[in-house]
């Protein structure tokens, strides 16, 4: 992820923090949604995660990846 984002203006330490936090957040949010606990909070966290990922992918102008994420966001 750091190599992909190196041409953007985002500092490397923020990219590394994001790369470290995305998988556990996805796992926790997915588990909470699956079992039906804290639905509102889990869905808000999911929305924020998708917004962060979309922001990052559009900064590096990866339009193919952005279009597939937009389709994923609609479902």
Token pair listed for 39: 């639905």
Q: Please give the mean pLDDT across all residues of the chain.
A: 84
In this structure, is residue 4 part of a structural domain?
Answer: no
Q: Containing domain of residue 21, as a range?
A: 12-74
Distance CA 15, CA 18 (A): 5
H or E element in which residue 9 lies: none
In this structure, is residue 3 part of a structural domain?
Answer: no
Q: Give the C-alpha distances (Å, rounded to integers) separating 62 from 4, 22, 56, 69.
A: 10, 19, 9, 11
pTM of the entire predicted model: 0.73
In this structure, is residue 42 part of a structural domain?
Answer: yes
The number of domains in the chain is 1
Q: Has residue 44 got a pLDDT over 90?
A: yes
In this structure, is residue 46 part of a structural domain?
Answer: yes
Write out pLDDT tens, residues 4-36. Answer: 777 788 888 888 898 899 999 999 999 999 999
For 66, left (φ over 0), alpha (ψ -120 to 50), or beta?
A: alpha
For tokens 């479902």, name the residue.
75
């Amino acid at each position: 992820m750091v190599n992909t984002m190196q041409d953007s203006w985002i500092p490397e330490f923020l990219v590394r923090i994001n790369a470290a936090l995305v998988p556990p957040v996805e796992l926790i949010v997915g588990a909470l949604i699956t079992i039906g606990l804290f639905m509102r909070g889990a869905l808000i966290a999911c929305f924020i995660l998708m917004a962060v990922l979309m922001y990052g992918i559009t900064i590096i102008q990866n339009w193919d990846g952005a279009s597939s994420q937009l389709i994923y966001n609609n479902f």
